[in-house]
Amino acid sequence: MSEPRNVEPAAEASRVTATLRVNGEDHTVVFPVHHTLLEVLREGCGLTGTKHGCELGECGACAVLLDGRPVLSCLVLAAEAAGHEVETVEGLQEGNRLHPLQAAFADLGAAQCGYCTPGILMTAKALLAQNPEPTAEEIEEALAGNLCRCTGYRKIVQAVAWAAAILRGEEERPPEEAFLGSPLPEVRR
């Protein structure tokens, strides 16, 4: 698929050629030296899963992993990312197998409009790598820089905890009340 090119006239900016390692693949790209990792991922590498939300580091929609640490790709110069491992949402699944985070988000309906989802998945992946058994509070703290306007966050926090349990090899999923408050009795007429 051809990609939208943010065509810069040659005179506009000095351009650099760099090789970015993204999701284990090398991408050799030419871009103006001031371009951010977000711009080069989307426009140079054709990886549009990482989203523009504000370009000011305020919303978290553009979060990716740089050597396993979550960064806001709108605040990182692409040139700085050369020589480091970049991970984006496109690299989360292995072959046809969803990452446990993706599976848990799907099961719980933790993605609604989906625009914040890639950034949240990557931030959560970094959290679980560092803390395999986070409490609800630790998940909330780790995701506090990722804005979501649809879900109210409860299902997201719950999905991250479910994924953590799967990654620990546990059969049992943590009980709902740990994330949603004490369970309510079923109400039907």
Of 131-160, binders to other proteins (CB under 8 A) are 139-141, 143-157
Among residue numbers 14 through 73, which ones bind other proteins (CB under 8 A)?
32, 42, 47-56, 58-59, 61
Q: How far is the CB of 27 from other proteins (least distance, A)?
A: 15
Among positions 165-184, residues that touch other proteins (CB under 8 A) are: 179-182, 184
Q: In what order do the strands lie in the sheet with 85-87?
A: 25-32, 15-22, 85-87, 63-66, 69-72
Of 83-142, binders to other proteins (CB under 8 A) are 88-90, 92-93, 98, 102, 105-109, 111-118, 121, 139-141
Max Cα distance, the chain (Å): 71
> Which structure tokens are listed for 91?
């690299």
- 80 binds other proteins per the rule CB under 8 A: no
Chain Cα centroid distance, residue 125:
8
As a whole number of angstroms, the distance between CA 66 and CA 78 comes to 11
Instruction: Choose between 66 and 180: whose C-beta lies nearer to other proteins.
Output: 180
